Amino acid sequence: MKSEYQKKMALLNKHRKRGVSSDKLKQIEASVNHLHTSYIVEMQSLDSTVSEINRLRDQHLYPKLVQFVQQ
């Protein structure tokens, strides 16, 4: 997703430099904004998943591991 966003941004900047029509620029900008929003949502979801994994590790796995090692 990130690479697709970067490609669209490069395309947008290229079209801006060439002076492409405003309708085409608006269409590309809308696409870029959509990708950016999707990327942010995906990153937040990933952060949430990582936090949950860490919580499970700390609250469930680690105590069991300590108990196992002490036996």
SS (H, E, C) the chain: CHHHHHHHHHHHHHHHHHCCCHHHHHHHHHHHHHHHHHHHHHHHHHHHHHHHHHHHHHHHHHHHHHHHHHC
pTM of whole model > 0.75?
no
Taking the C-alpha atoms of residue 65 and residue 71, their distance in angstroms, rounded to an integer, is 10
Report CA 30 to chain centroid distance, whole Å: 18
Residue 1 has pLDDT above 90, yes or no: no
The 10s digit of each residue's pLDDT in 14-70 is 988 988 888 888 998 999 999 999 999 999 999 999 999 999 999 999 999 999 999
Angle 31-34-3 (CA atoms, 0-180°, nearest 5)?
75
Task: Check residue 45 and give its pLDDT.
Answer: 97
Ordered by start, the domain boundaries in the chain are 2-70
